[in-house]
Structure 1
Amino acid sequence: MEADKPHYHGHRDRLRTRFAEAGGKGLADYEILELILFRAIPQRDVKPLAKDLLTRFGDIGRVCAARPDQLTEIKGVSEKVALELNLFQEVATRIAREQVSGRAVISSWSALLDYVRTALQNASTEEFRVLFLDKKNRLLADEFRARGTVDHAPVYPREVIKRAIALDASAIILVHNHPSGDPTPSQADIDMTRRVVEIGRPLSIVVHDHLVVGRDHVASFKQLGLM
């Protein structure tokens, strides 16, 4: 007689069936996370691990955006599992980026905000990116420029403008996150932005905005009257 399958196999089959029939509706966050973990951990009940990850990081977004070294601190999370989780963050970011690629960013502002939120709102350290735009305000490049601590990422204004010149960009949008969740610009943020504007102005490189991504909101320097 064929040996009985481990109990978690039946659970996996039922969970997959529920997802196939109704998508994510009716599934708890830990169950969605279980579905993600199934591929990386084929021979173990992953429900306890899914719940442990949510307890540690707070929600699925933060789980998938956590750094590999943070994820592997959790018992049962190998490097393979960490990479699998990070893959879903990358997929979500690329899907959001597709909504702004090839379009005039200024007229697709809602899509742009969705993109920067997806890319940065769950990051555990401060990251600084620059969106380089052409003469029609279409996205030429989205480049990571600096990563720092939980409250600071070193940015060099001259290097930002130098890169804009190299890409033949006519305009840029500065973007960074505040891992604290509060997107209120710091005085250092304001001073750095003004310096980028000053250096870019005589070279006809326009700084359209500086976006600060928090947990539930994106602050705009332009809307706040800071530029």
Structure 2
Amino acid sequence: MLRRFGSIAEIGNASPDELRGCSLYGETWSESFIAVRDLLSEGHREAFTRVPLDSADAALHRYLRASIGSSKHEIMVAIFADEAGYVISEEIVGEGDQGSLQLSLRRIFGKALKVEARRILLAHNHPSGNSEPSQADVEQTKALIDQSHRLGINFEDHLIVGRAHVTSMRARGLL
């Protein structure tokens, strides 16, 4: 697998079909590997969903780095929470190529309203591995904050996920 994918991070990001392609005819070890990988991912997710949402939570950062940090394309995740901050739902709300992200306000806020979220936290990765927010990130986030306030949803933070670090736009004073 290392020869085929080049790194452990790439193995972690490989699709189930790509992993199955590493098995020789009749071997079923890849199914066990996929199940263990999914179980570990759910364990990372569970660690931050048992406590109120906190954009500085190390468990949340580990989960985001593991789930989207090494992706070759940009992915935006929205985490929806109730008034007390407990996670209700999580959803991919935008995807794009390196350096661009197509997102829909309707998709983000439609889901927030559907699950009756009172808080929202957004996170997206930079395929370059750099977790520094771009000017476009800042401008788009300000538009999202404006819309969330109109809908009565508290905008918690926008996290930029790199390979090794997660940067909080709120902590940087950019929101």
Conserved 8 A contact 1:65-1:89: no
Describe how 1:74-153 pairs up with structure 2 within 5 A.
77=22, 86-106=34-54, 109-153=57-101
Aligned partner of 2:104 among 156, 162, 174:
156
Which structure shows the bigger proportion of residues in helix conformation?
1
Aligned runs of 1:1-227 on 2, under 5 Å?
Answer: 50-53=1-4, 56-58=5-7, 60-67=8-15, 77=22, 86-106=34-54, 109-227=57-175
SS at match of 2:12: helix
Q: Residues 147 and 89 of structure 1: is their aligned pair in 2 closer, same or farther, counting only changes over 3 Å?
A: farther
Unmatched segments (≥5 aa) in structure 1 = 1-49
Q: Rg larger in 1 or in 2?
A: 1
Distance 2:79 2:102 in 1: 17
Does the CA-based 8 Å contact 2:79-2:121 persist in structure 1?
A: yes
Contact 1:63 1:85 in 2 (8 A): no
Shift in CA distance, 166/181, structure 1 to aligned 2, threshold 3 Å: same
The residue type paired with residue 130 of structure 1 is: A
Partner Cα distance (1:211, 1:83) in 2: 33
TM-score, reference length from structure 2 = 0.84
* Higher relative strand content: 2
Q: Secondary structure at the match of 2:48?
A: coil
Alpha carbons of structure 1 residues 135 and 118: separation in structure 2 relative to 1, 3 Å? same
CA 1:107 to 1:151, structure 2 compared with 1: closer, same or farther past 3 Å?
closer
Q: Relative contact order (C-alpha < 8 Å, sep 6+): which is higher? A: 2
State percent identity of aligned pairs.
28
Equivalenced residue count is 172
Deviation readout 1:74-102 (Å, 9 max, x if unpaired): xx725977766554442222110111223
